[in-house]
């Protein structure tokens, strides 16, 4: 009886500490969100979307150059990273199965997912920026694409593995070749999960700053030339937020609010797709 009371007491103590930790963590989270929202909304106006960056003190100053640059970098990375990730995940699930080679690729992919983004930035700096002799949007796109590939690969591999084998066997019994089975049967059954993985990978790269500092660097002027340094919302936000000028700091808050809403929206959209699919 005494042992039972001791276990109950231990359970209450552990539950109390866990609850307290959760409350403290949620408190800090809401504090951060409240600070971001209150400062970001106050700094938000239409001029941010109409004007490019300007020296401190100029009224016609905005973030158009950074927003366009961020869309170019993220869009370019998506064009490169998504097809490679989907095809690689398809190979692992449909051809590699549980072979040693396929499991080795899975382990490498998992390692890349946990690799700090600054390591990827320095890697791309060494193989792209240094040989070219200057920073460029191309290097930034490559760095972000490398970050996307393992996320899309893993999502595709996991979602395709959930498709019942009986569907593949039924299509094969009807005489469908392997590639048609994958495209018309397997992909259709797993399209929601794959698309969700793509959304999450976009959300991951949307908030990255460190790899862009080593690759695309930044540009205080409007530019769409990817062979030269190009502006990004994350690096511009960092520069403005750490500047001593109040108007630049306000633009930094606005950039942080826009980026947070974008990433939050993508994550919510991904959760909605997963819920519709019935995946928890």
CB atoms within 10 A of CB 108: 12
pTM of the full structure: 0.88
User: pLDDT tens-digit profile of 33-50?
Assistant: 899 999 999 888 898 999
**Segments making up each domain of the chain, as ranges:** 2-43, 50-277
Domain 50-277 CATH assignment equals 3.90.1640.20: no
Which of 156, 155, 128 lies closest to 142 in space, CA to CA? 128
Instruction: Report the percent of the chain where pLDDT is more than 90.
Output: 66
CB atoms within 10 A of CB 253: 22
Residue 280 in this model has a pLDDT that exceeds 50? no
User: pLDDT tens-digit profile of 119-160?
Assistant: 999 999 999 999 999 999 999 999 999 999 999 999 999 999
Q: How far is CA 96 from CA 87, 161, 180, 195, 237, in A?
A: 12, 12, 18, 22, 43
pLDDT at 277: 58
Residue range 51-71: average pLDDT? 90
């Amino acid at each position: 009886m005494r042992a039972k009371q001791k276990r109950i007491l231990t359970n209450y103590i552990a539950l109390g500490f866990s609850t307290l930790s959760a409350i403290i963590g949620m408190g800090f989270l809401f504090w951060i969100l409240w600070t971001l929202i209150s400062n970001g909304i106050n700094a938000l106006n239409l001029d941010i979307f109409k004007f490019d960056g300007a020296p401190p003190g100029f009224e016609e100053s905005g973030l158009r150059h950074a927003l366009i640059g961020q869309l170019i970098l993220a869009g370019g990375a998506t064009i490169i990273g998504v097809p490679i990730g989907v095809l690689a995940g398809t190979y692992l699930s449909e051809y590699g199965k549980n072979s040693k080679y396929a499991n080795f690729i899975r382990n490498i992919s998992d390692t890349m997912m946990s690799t700090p983004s600054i390591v990827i930035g320095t890697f791309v700096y060494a193989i792209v920026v240094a040989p070219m002799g200057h920073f460029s949007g191309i290097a930034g796109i490559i760095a972000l694409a490398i970050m996307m590939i393992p996320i899309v690969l893993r999502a595709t591999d996991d979602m395709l593995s959930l498709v019942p084998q009986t569907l593949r066997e039924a299509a094969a019994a009807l005489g469908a070749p392997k590639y048609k089975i994958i495209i018309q049967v397997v992909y259709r059954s797993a399209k929601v999960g794959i698309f969700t993985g793509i959304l999450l990978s976009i959300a991951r790269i949307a908030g990255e700053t460190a790899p862009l500092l080593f690759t695309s660097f930044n540009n205080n002027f409007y530019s769409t030339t990817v062979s030269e340094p190009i502006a990004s919302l994350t690096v511009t936000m960092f520069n403005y937020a750490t500047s001593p000028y109040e108007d630049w700091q306000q633009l930094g808050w606005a950039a942080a609010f826009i980026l947070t809403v974008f990433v939050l929206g993508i994550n919510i959209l991904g959760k909605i797709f997963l819920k519709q699919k019935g995946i928890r």
